[in-house]
Copies of this chain bind each other. A is one copy, B any other.
Amino acid sequence: MPQYNAPLTDMQFLLHDWLQLDHHYQQLGISDFDSELVNEILSQGAKFAEGVIAPLNREGDEHSSKLLDGKVTTPAGFAQAYQDYIANGWNAMLGSSEYDGQDMPYTMAIPVHEMLNSANLSWRLICMLTESAVLAVTKHGDEQLKKTYLAKLISGEWTGTMCLTEPHAGTDLSLLSAKAQPNGDGSYLISGSKIFISGGDQDWSDNICHLVLARLPDAPAGIKGISLFLVPKILVSASGELGAANQVSVGSIEKKMGLKACPTCVMNFDEAQGWLVGDENKGLACMFTMMNDARFQVGLQGLGIAEASYQGALSYARERLQSRAPQGVAQPDKKADSIMFQPDVRRMLLTQKALTEGCRALALLYAQQMDVEKYGNAEQQHAAAKVIAFLTPICKGFMTDMGTDVSSLGIQVYGGHGYIREWGMEQLMRDSRIAQLYEGTNGIQAADLISRKLARDNGVTLQATQSLLQKWVSDIQLPSSQAFAQDLLNEWVGTSQQLIHLNAVDLAGSAYDYMHYSAYCILGILWLSMADRAQQSSIESLKSGKANTCAFYLKRLLPRKDGFKLNLLSGANDLLALADHEFDYQ
C-alpha cells in the first residue's frame, strides 16, 4: 500500500487562505474554535489516519470480515483502532455538546473525515454511519430516545447503522415490506429482512443501534407509509443498562468487489423491539436527514480514495526508471529517466491532482455552508440549506465517479504492477467503486439534482448556489481570471435555467450529463478562485503549483463540459427510440 500522508499543506491553504476560516467563524459567532485549534485537530487527525488505520488497510482487504456462529469478526487491529478513535474523542467531533459531543464546526471535522477515507475506507464507513445515526436521533428522536442512546452514539461506545434496502426495494423504497407492529408499551415489533447493511454486526461496540424503515399495519401504500425505528442489537433498560439480546440476527455477509474489511450484512429482524424515530409514516423524511449527510460523506470517500491514489502514483512515477524523456535525458546518472518525465505520465498525474484538489475545494465549500446552516441567522441558514440541497448530489455523484476514474489512473501509472494486490493501487479502485452505488446510485443523484433540486422549486436552489458562487467570482483579483470565472458562471446558470421547464422524461434523459456538466463548471470557478488566492501565499510551490494545475484544469479537463452540455437540451427521444427487442442481437 502506498504510504499515506495527509495533504495538510493543501488543507491549510484551503481552510485558512481560501475559506478564511477565522473570519468565517467570527461572522457566525463561533468563539470556541479558531485557526490554531483547526491546525491542531488536522495534525492529530493526520497522525491517527497515517499511523493507526492506514497500516491496517491492506491486511483488511486480504482477510475481510468474517461471520462465524452469527457473529462478525473484523480484521486484526480494526477493533483496537476503533477503541483508540473513540477514546480520543474523534467520534464525538460533530455531536451535540448537550450529549457530551464536541460540537465542532464542519470545516474542522470534514478534513479529518477525508483523511480517514484515504487511509482505510472499510474502517471509516462504520464510524460514518454512526455519525449519520446521531444526526437522525438528534433531529427526530424524542427526549427518551435521546436520553437513552445519544451520548453513547456520540462517544462511539455504541454504533449505528442504516437499514433501508430490501432485496426488492433499493432505489424504490415504496416497495419495502418490513413490518412494525405496535407493542402497546410505546415500542414496536419489527419484522423483515434488510440487505446491504454496512457494519450490521462487528466486534467493535457492545451495542449497535439499527435505524430501520418499516411499515405500520394501517400505513398508506408507498413512501407515505414508511416509518423509522431505532432497533438496538441489545435491549437497554430505563436506567441505560444493557439487557437481553433483541431479535436481530445476521443472515450472512456479502462477498464483494472491495470494501472487504467492512462487513456488509443481511440483517433479519424477527419481532425485534424498536422505538419510533420521528412521527409515524414520516420515516422517509427522518431517513433523509441521515441520507443527505451520508451522501455528502460518500462523496468525500471518492475524494479520499483519489488523494490516496494520487500519492501512490506520484511516488511510483518518481521512482520508476524506464526509457528516456522525449524532451532530453533528464537523469544522466541513471540507466533511464524516471517516468515522471514522460508527458503522458504527467497527463495522468495532473488529471489526478486537478480533480482531487478541485473536489477538495468543493467539499470544503460544502462544509462551510454546513457551518452556516448550523450557526448562521435564519436568513443565512435558509440560503445555506438551499446550497447544500443543490450541492449534495453533485458531491456524491461527481466526486465518487471521480474517485474511480482517478484510482484507475493510479493503477495505470504503475503499469502491470498496478494490477498486483501487494502494491495496493488496485484495492483503491475496488474500494472506490462502491461509492458510485450506495446511498443512492449516481444515476439517482443525477435525477435528484435535475428534478428535485433544479426543476421542482423553479430554480430557487439554483439561485442560492449562483449567489454563493458569484461571491467567489467577484473576489477573484486577477481580472482575466475573474472574467473567465464570470463567463463560466453565466454559462452554467443560463444553461441550467433552460432546463428548468423540461418535462419529466427529458429531465431524466439529461440528468447524468447535467450533473457532470455542473461539476466541471463549478470546479472551474473554484480552480480560478483557488489559483488566484494562492498568489498571496507565502509558500512558493503552492503559488506556482496551483497556478499551473489550474491552467491544466482549464485547458485539458474543463472542455469536457461541452460534451455534456451538447446532450442537455436535446431531449430523451434518442434514449427511448429503441424498441425493447432492438437491444438484442444474439
- Quick one: given A5-B586, A340-B580, A585-B542, are A438 and B412 in contact (CB under 8 Å)? no
Asked whether A437 lies within 8 Å of B418 as measured between CB atoms, the reply is yes
Asked whether A576 lies within 8 Å of B346 as measured between CB atoms, the reply is yes
Asked whether B257 lies within 8 Å of A343 as measured between CB atoms, the reply is no
Identify A578's interface contact among B436, B545, B559, CB under 8 A.
B545
Asked whether B447 lies within 8 Å of A584 as measured between CB atoms, the reply is no
Asked whether A254 lies within 8 Å of B441 as measured between CB atoms, the reply is no
Identify A559's interface contact among B254, B257, B419, B566, CB under 8 A.
B566
Q: Which residues of B contact A350 (CB under 8 A)?
A: 574-575, 578
Asked whether B419 lies within 8 Å of A544 as measured between CB atoms, the reply is no
How distant is the Cα of A257 from the Cα of B421 in the complex, in angstroms?
6
Q: Which residues of B contact A327 (CB under 8 A)?
A: 504-505, 576
Binds B, one of A200-208, A240-248, A280-288, A507-515: A507-515
- Quick one: given A343-B505, A412-B442, A577-B548, are A314 and B9 in contact (CB under 8 Å)? no
Chain A, residues 540-552, CB within 8 Å of chain B (1/0): the string is 0110110011011
Nearest Cβ on chain B to A27's Cβ, whole angstroms: 27
Asked whether A582 lies within 8 Å of B441 as measured between CB atoms, the reply is no
Asked whether B430 lies within 8 Å of A545 as measured between CB atoms, the reply is no
Nearest Cβ on chain B to A499's Cβ, whole angstroms: 14
The 6 A-B residue pairs with the shortest CB-CB distance, nearest first, are A545-B582, A257-B426, A172-B322, A10-B585, A5-B586, A343-B509
How distant is the Cα of A9 from the Cα of B583 in the complex, in angstroms?
12
Identify A344's interface contact among B420, B446, B582, CB under 8 A.
B446
A7 at the interface (CB under 8 A from B): yes
A47 at the interface (CB under 8 A from B): no
Question: Which residue of chain B is the closest to A442 with respect to CB atoms?
Answer: B412
Chain A, residues 340-374, CB within 8 Å of chain B (1/0): the string is 10111111111001000100000000000000000
A323 at the interface (CB under 8 A from B): yes
A70 at the interface (CB under 8 A from B): no
Asked whether B545 lies within 8 Å of A335 as measured between CB atoms, the reply is no
Q: Contacts A327-B504, A545-B583 given; 16 further ones with Cβ under 8 A? A: A9-B584, A168-B321, A170-B415, A171-B323, A172-B336, A257-B420, A311-B586, A344-B443, A346-B572, A346-B576, A348-B443, A353-B583, A416-B437, A548-B578, A555-B567, A560-B563
How distant is the Cα of A511 from the Cα of B344 in the complex, in angstroms?
7
Chain A, residues 433-445, CB within 8 Å of chain B (1/0): the string is 1101110011100
Q: Which residues of B contact A582 (CB under 8 A)?
A: 541, 544-545, 548-549
How distant is the Cα of A484 from the Cα of B570 in the complex, in angstroms?
19
Nearest Cβ on chain B to A453's Cβ, whole angstroms: 16
Q: Which residues of B contact A184 (CB under 8 A)?
A: none
Asked whether B257 lies within 8 Å of A170 as measured between CB atoms, the reply is no
A329 at the interface (CB under 8 A from B): no
Question: Which residue of chain B is the closest to A510 with respect to CB atoms?
Answer: B343
- Quick one: given A171-B323, A508-B344, A581-B541, are A416 and B438 in contact (CB under 8 Å)? yes
Q: Which residues of B contact A344 (CB under 8 A)?
A: 443, 446-447, 508-509, 511-512
- Quick one: given A171-B322, A408-B433, are A416 and B583 in contact (CB under 8 Å)? no
Q: Which residues of B contact A556 (CB under 8 A)?
A: 567, 574
A401-432 contacts to B, CB under 8 A, are 404, 408, 411-412, 415-416, 418-422, 426, 429-430
A579 at the interface (CB under 8 A from B): yes
Question: Which residue of chain B is the closest to A311 with respect to CB atoms?
Answer: B586
Asked whether B343 lies within 8 Å of A576 as measured between CB atoms, the reply is yes
Asked whether A441 lies within 8 Å of B422 as measured between CB atoms, the reply is no
A6 at the interface (CB under 8 A from B): yes
- Quick one: given A323-B172, A556-B574, A586-B7, are A433 and B437 in contact (CB under 8 Å)? no
A479 at the interface (CB under 8 A from B): no
A332 at the interface (CB under 8 A from B): no
Asked whether A433 lies within 8 Å of B426 as measured between CB atoms, the reply is yes
Asked whether B345 lies within 8 Å of A443 as measured between CB atoms, the reply is yes
Asked whether B446 lies within 8 Å of A572 as measured between CB atoms, the reply is no
Chain A, residues 312-346, CB within 8 Å of chain B (1/0): the string is 00100010011100110000000110011011111
Nearest Cβ on chain B to A4's Cβ, whole angstroms: 9
Nearest Cβ on chain B to A267's Cβ, whole angstroms: 14
Q: Which residues of B contact A447 (CB under 8 A)?
A: 344
Question: Which residue of chain B is the closest to A323 with respect to CB atoms?
Answer: B172
Q: Which residues of B contact A172 (CB under 8 A)?
A: 321-323, 336
Asked whether B415 lies within 8 Å of A586 as measured between CB atoms, the reply is no
Chain A, residues 394-405, CB within 8 Å of chain B (1/0): the string is 000000000010
- Quick one: given A257-B421, A345-B443, A429-B433, are A326 and B578 in contact (CB under 8 Å)? no
A175 at the interface (CB under 8 A from B): yes
Identify A408's interface contact among B174, B258, B404, CB under 8 A.
B404
